[in-house]
């Protein structure tokens, strides 16, 4: 195996189990184009301690791209803050620079470092090119595919299960990369700075880009002036992306899986779930028509969580909460709504809410007086002829009232809400 030869070429360092390629002088010149044969990505890598333990994560093993040379070695990432690890069979630049042994074993001690993947196919998904001599397992159709690229045609693999090795040959826990044919690169516009992941995730630092006298060629350049800034963070292309992965596309705010748009003058054609602004006397402008600076966050679900402090949402004019099903509020302690005018049920609501405590307190006084009156009427009499006689109708009504009033008075506290309070 190519890797076995490459691994055998590396020796264990005498300091801290760090490894360096022990290569002949032709490999000590920099820069040098090499083909990655394997990479250390986790602690399950076999004999990882021989290469520096966890400190060796990101270390690649490689062979020379020139197939006539047997030279092999290892290298570590050049940039400490930026990690873009290559895949096996991708090509990187390797250079010699000072090592951590400098000043200990030698004043000129060097080690090999690699610069990220060479854009061989000019595609963010992968840029692998297997060794054409030793990779005899590549199907003939794909071998032809690579030959076509060499004469200027873009690589267009359509096989869903390509047999190009893109994973570690000896660490199964790293074997997670599967080539996909529907990953599209982003179409650039003049002046763009674009960062693209391998799976349709990207950051575009761009601007309005509308050719003079022509229609916009992306979703954000219908209005505004060329050069108006826009930042688009996208995670995942549309699920129905075509299998023609070599065709560049632009971001789609409605079909990309998740995205954040930070605009200046652009109009973004977002299809919001709820735009029922009927609660407003003067509705706000719809998000898909707004052309002043705004931030759009769009996904199947949004979660805002403050682990220790508050979630603060502030708006100069209003805060709109719209849902097609329900609005749910759940607070462990209390809910406070402080406002000079609260409408419940509709923007034209004009019926006042009763102050329950005051109303029931004064009603209790009335009920007490009414009970006294009813008790008196319970013995009311009439003088039909001669001696007085009970007033049967009044007495019966009074008796019913004197029975009901104590029951009402006994439950008067239960009529008060224990949760909702008003001024």
Q: What are the pLDDT digits (tens) for 253-275? A: 999 999 999 999 999 999 999 99
pLDDT band, very low/low/confident/very high, at 395 (cuts 50, 70, 90)? confident
Structure tokens at 79: 């940039």
> Is the same domain home to 387 and 269?
no
- Asked if 58 contacts 85 with a C-beta cutoff of 8 angstroms, the reply is yes
DSSP state of 149: H
pLDDT at 22: 43
Structure tokens at 391: 């007033």
> Is the same domain home to 270 and 388?
no
Which of the listed residues 351, 383, 405 is the one where a domain comes to its end?
351
pLDDT band, very low/low/confident/very high, at 356 (cuts 50, 70, 90)? confident
> Per-residue pLDDT averaged across 63-84, rounded?
86
For residues 137 and 153, what is the distance between their CA atoms, to the nearest angstrom?
22
Q: What is the 3-state secondary structure (H, E, C) of 344-392?
A: CCCCCCCCCCCCHHHHHHHHHHHHHHHHHHHHHHCCCEECCCCCCEECH
Whether 398 maps to a domain, the answer reads: yes
> Per-residue pLDDT averaged across 174-182, rounded?
93
Average pLDDT, the chain: 84
For residues 419 and 416, what is the distance between their CA atoms, to the nearest angstrom?
9
> Is the same domain home to 140 and 285?
no
For residues 113 and 176, what is the distance between their CA atoms, to the nearest angstrom?
25
> Is the same domain home to 242 and 266?
yes
State in Å, rounded, how far the first CA of the chain is from the last one: 82
The secondary structure element, H or E, covering residue 186 is none
Whether 420 maps to a domain, the answer reads: no
pLDDT at 207: 98
Whether 422 maps to a domain, the answer reads: no
For residue 153, is pLDDT > 50?
no
> Is the same domain home to 150 and 59?
yes
pLDDT at 16: 39
For residues 95 and 116, what is the distance between their CA atoms, to the nearest angstrom?
12
For residue 33, is pLDDT > 60?
yes
Which residue, among 210, 209, 201, has the nearest Cα to 84 in the 3D structure?
201
pLDDT at 48: 95
Taking the CB of residue 393, how many other CB atoms lie within 10 A of it?
10
Which of the listed residues 129, 162, 179 is the one where a domain comes to its end?
179
For residue 138, is pLDDT > 80?
no
**Among the ranges given (15-29, 54-68, 357-371, 395-409), the one the predictor scored with the smallest mean pLDDT:** 15-29
Whether 170 maps to a domain, the answer reads: yes
- Asked if 380 contacts 391 with a C-beta cutoff of 8 angstroms, the reply is yes
pLDDT at 185: 96
> Is the same domain home to 230 and 332?
yes
> pLDDT digit string (tens) for 96-122?
998 887 766 556 688 999 998 999 999
> Is the same domain home to 330 and 368?
no
Whether 423 maps to a domain, the answer reads: no
Whether 409 maps to a domain, the answer reads: yes
Q: How many domains does the chain have?
A: 3
Which of the listed residues 125, 150, 179 is the one where a domain comes to its end?
179
> Is the same domain home to 140 and 232?
no
> Is the same domain home to 250 and 371?
no
Alpha helices by DSSP H, listed for 169-211, are none
Q: Percent helix, strand, coil in the chain (nearest 5)? A: 20, 20, 65
Whether 372 maps to a domain, the answer reads: yes
- Residue scoring higher pLDDT (82 or 5): 82
pLDDT band, very low/low/confident/very high, at 350 (cuts 50, 70, 90)? confident
> Per-residue pLDDT averaged across 49-67, rounded?
92
State phi, psi for 128 to the nearest 5 degrees. Answer: -75, 145
> pLDDT digit string (tens) for 15-31?
334 444 444 444 455 68
> Per-residue pLDDT averaged across 56-64, rounded?
95
pLDDT at 26: 41
> Per-residue pLDDT averaged across 36-59, rounded?
95
- Residue scoring higher pLDDT (291 or 336): 291
- Asked if 67 contacts 4 with a C-beta cutoff of 8 angstroms, the reply is no
Whether 421 maps to a domain, the answer reads: no
State phi, psi for 360 to the nearest 5 degrees. Answer: -70, -35
For residue 86, is pLDDT > 80?
yes
> Is the same domain home to 346 and 285?
yes
Structure tokens at 124: 């963010």
> Per-residue pLDDT averaged across 376-381, rounded?
79
Domain that holds residue 17: 1-179
Cut 0.85: pTM above it: no
> pLDDT digit string (tens) for 4-15?
333 333 434 433
- Residue scoring higher pLDDT (189 or 30): 189
> Is the same domain home to 236 and 297?
yes
> pLDDT digit string (tens) for 215-240?
888 999 999 999 999 999 999 999 99
> Is the same domain home to 190 and 174?
no
For residue 92, is pLDDT > 70?
yes
């Amino acid at each position: 195996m190519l890797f076995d030869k490459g691994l055998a070429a590396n020796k264990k360092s005498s300091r801290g189990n760090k490894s360096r390629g022990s290569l002949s002088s032709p490999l000590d010149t920099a820069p040098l184009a090499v083909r990655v044969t394997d990479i250390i990505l986790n602690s399950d890598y076999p004999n990882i301690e021989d290469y520096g333990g966890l400190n060796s994560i990101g270390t690649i093993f490689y062979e020379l791209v020139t197939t006539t040379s047997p030279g092999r070695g290892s290298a570590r990432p050049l940039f400490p803050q930026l990690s873009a690890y290559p895949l096996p069979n991708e090509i990187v630049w390797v250079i010699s620079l000072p090592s951590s042994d400098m000043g200990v074993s030698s004043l000129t001690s060097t080690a090999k470092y690699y610069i990220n993947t060479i854009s061989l196919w000019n595609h963010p998904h992968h840029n692998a090119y297997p060794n054409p001599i030793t990779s005899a397992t590549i199907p003939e159709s794909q071998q032809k595919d690579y030959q076509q690229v060499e004469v200027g045609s873009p690589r267009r693999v359509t096989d869903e299960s390509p047999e190009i090795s893109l994973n570690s040959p000896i660490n199964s826990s790293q074997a997670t990369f599967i080539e996909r044919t529907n990953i599209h690169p982003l179409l650039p516009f003049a002046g763009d700075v674009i960062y693209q992941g391998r799976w349709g995730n990207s950051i575009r630092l761009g601007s309005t880009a509308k050719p003079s006298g022509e229609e916009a060629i992306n979703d954000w350049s219908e209005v505004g002036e060329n050069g108006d800034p826009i930042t688009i963070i996208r995670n995942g292309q549309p699920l129905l992306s075509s299998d023609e992965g070599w065709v560049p596309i632009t971001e789609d705010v409605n079909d990309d899986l998740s995205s954040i748009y930070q605009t200046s003058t652009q109009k973004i054609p977002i299809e919001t779930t709820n735009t029922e602004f009927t609660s407003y006397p003067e509705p706000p402008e719809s998000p898909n028509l707004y052309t002043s600076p705004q931030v759009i966050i769009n996904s199947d679900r949004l979660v805002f969580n403050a682990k220790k402090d508050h979630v603060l949402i502030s708006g100069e004019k209003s805060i709109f909460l719209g849902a097609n099903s329900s609005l749910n509020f759940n607070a462990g302690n209390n809910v406070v709504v402080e406002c000079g005018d609260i409408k419940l049920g509709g923007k034209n609501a004009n019926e006042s809410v009763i102050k329950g405590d005051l109303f029931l307190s004064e009603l209790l006084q009335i009920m007490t007086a009414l009970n006294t009156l009813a008790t008196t009427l319970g013995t009311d009499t009439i003088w039909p002829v001669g001696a007085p006689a009970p007033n049967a109708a009044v007495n019966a009504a009074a008796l019913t009232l004197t029975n009901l009033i104590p029951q009402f008075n006994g439950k008067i506290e239960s009529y008060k809400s224990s949760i909702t309070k008003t001024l």
